[in-house]
Amino acid sequence: MVPTSSEDSPDEDGDRSAENRRAILNPTSGRADHVERVRDLAAERGFDVVETERAGHAIELAERAAADGVDLLAVCGGDGTLHEVVEGLYGADALDAVTLSVIPSGTENIVAEHLGVESLVDGFDLAETGETRRIDLGVAGDEPFVMSAIAGLPAEASAAATHDLKRRFGSLAFVIGGVQETLAFDGLRVAVEADADDAALEESTVENATGDDGITWRGEALTVLVGNLREFGSEGAPADAEDGLLDVTIGERMPPSDAVAETVAQRLLGQDTEHVTTLKASAIEFEHLGGDPVTFSLDGEIRRFDTVAFSVVPGALRVRVGEEYGQTG
């Protein structure tokens, strides 16, 4: 699906050369072999560069950039670095004042891919010439997320893909972590309540969805996936990140043989399947009925909740995008 609303074209942004530019660089993201190249590209395009020194440091650097009046902020790292930058701008109430340009240099650059940003050079080129779009921002409790919030087996697998594994094996680290966690994962007993309008209810696959009561799902889940920029029905395709809604997918716990068959039907053949529930909602309440906190992956960052409220802030994030933004397939 191609989003239909845009904020600014390059010509409407005014003189981009007059922007106060800064780049936040994570020197250890991915295989940590990008620092010199990023510094050269940044210097060519008038970006000052500051480097992160520890986990959470990008939050502070984003807050400082907002306080310094930075207009265009390049984020050089992976999805986790971008998550921290957005968290900093969100906390500083500066999202409306800063435009982000994503420079992909992480192990998994899913946000960059969905925004149509293909490489380091492409990211800096789009900072100069790319269209500016306003995309929605998801919020889990009081923490924002750009891409998705995931509970259950994928989150456990993400947690198992340690920094050392990612440095050694790249994307394969997530496969290794997934295999390790699948052998031990017991599933989740959860309740999910969602607020949705009539149109979203019509698209929902929840059998007991009603216009008066919204949507309620209770049961044993293998995973609960809340997507903003990302949806989960067809190979993690881009969602419509400008519709003011979150895309929710709930995978029921089932015997391993059934799980394999449904994965083939859902991901390869594009079919609706019996044990996968999908819906769209503007607000979601998640509760783990088992009592203990559940591992969530927020844009790849690990958090733990026993209950959490999800919401969406429409059009909150200004980003530069490429030509493939919003394209499926």
pLDDT in tens, 81-107: 999 999 999 999 999 999 999 999 988
Q: Is the pLDDT of residue 234 over 60?
A: no
On whether the CB atoms of residues 246 and 280 are closer than 8 A, the answer is: yes
Q: Is the pLDDT of residue 200 over 70?
A: no
Q: Is the pLDDT of residue 168 over 70?
A: no
DSSP string spanning 248-268? EEEEEP--HHHHHHHHIIIII
Closest by CA to 296, choosing from 117, 151, 88, is 151
On whether the CB atoms of residues 186 and 276 are closer than 8 A, the answer is: no
On whether the CB atoms of residues 21 and 45 are closer than 8 A, the answer is: yes
- When pLDDT is averaged across residues 110-119 and rounded to a whole number, the result is 94
Percent of the chain scored above 70 by pLDDT?
Answer: 69
Query: What does CATH list as the number for 145-312?
Result: 2.60.200.40
Mean pLDDT over each residue of the chain, to the nearest integer:
79
Of 24 and 110, the one with more pLDDT: 24
pTM: 0.81
Fold exhibited by the domain 10-139+317-321: Rossmann fold (3.40.50)
Q: Is the pLDDT of residue 14 over 60?
A: no
Q: Which of 16-25, 50-59, 259-268, 290-299 has the lowest mean pLDDT?
A: 259-268
In the prediction, which pLDDT does 230 show?
81
Of 228 and 197, the one with more pLDDT: 228
